[in-house]
Amino acid sequence: MAILAKNKIKIFKKPKSLPFKNSEIIDWFNDILLINSIAGVQLNIIFVTLPEIQNMNRKFRKKDKPTDVITFSMVEGKFTQYSYDMLGDIYVCPDFIKAKDSKSVLRRLIHGLLHLLGNDHKGESDLKKFIILEEKYLKLIKLD
């Protein structure tokens, strides 16, 4: 039996008002990575304010408005186990989501992780597949 390398998931600035612990987020992400046969990677989850996410959106996406999540991948295209150690960063803005429950915020975190794994939703069929994956992982962690 193969031994999988441990993932390094770091969480920064999580608001105390969110109803889940850092350790829960890390466990959920590890479960999703394991299902995708991914181990030994690093990623950062950074919680930001509305002004911070708007500044990032303006600077990197040329959209001068806040958004829910921005992902910066260190991987080009679909992730393969041997391509990189560092997957990237997920910036999420709970205030934009306007919900403090774990399902709404976690859905956006999963959304960011799916982008780090190389998934996209540029067309309608891609968006449907993306939503199916989000639902699959919410069910996995029993937040459907």
- pLDDT by residue (tens digit) across 53-63? 999 999 999 99
- Pairing of the two strands 69-73 and 86-92: antiparallel
Q: Determine whether the annotation assigns residue 121 to a binding site.
A: yes
118 part of a folded domain: yes
Tens of pLDDT along 69-125?
999 988 765 555 545 588 999 999 998 887 555 678 888 999 999 999 888 888 888
What pTM was estimated for this model as a whole? 0.86
Q: Determine whether the annotation assigns residue 111 to a binding site.
A: yes
What total of structural domains would you count in the chain? Answer: 1
2 part of a folded domain: no
- Identify the CATH number of the domain in which residue 93 sits: 3.40.390.30
3 part of a folded domain: no
Domain that includes residue 96, residue range: 8-140
Residues with Cβ within 8 Å of 105's Cβ and at least 6 positions away in sequence, in order, are 18, 92, 94, 97, 99
1 part of a folded domain: no
Q: Determine whether the annotation assigns residue 20 to a binding site.
A: no
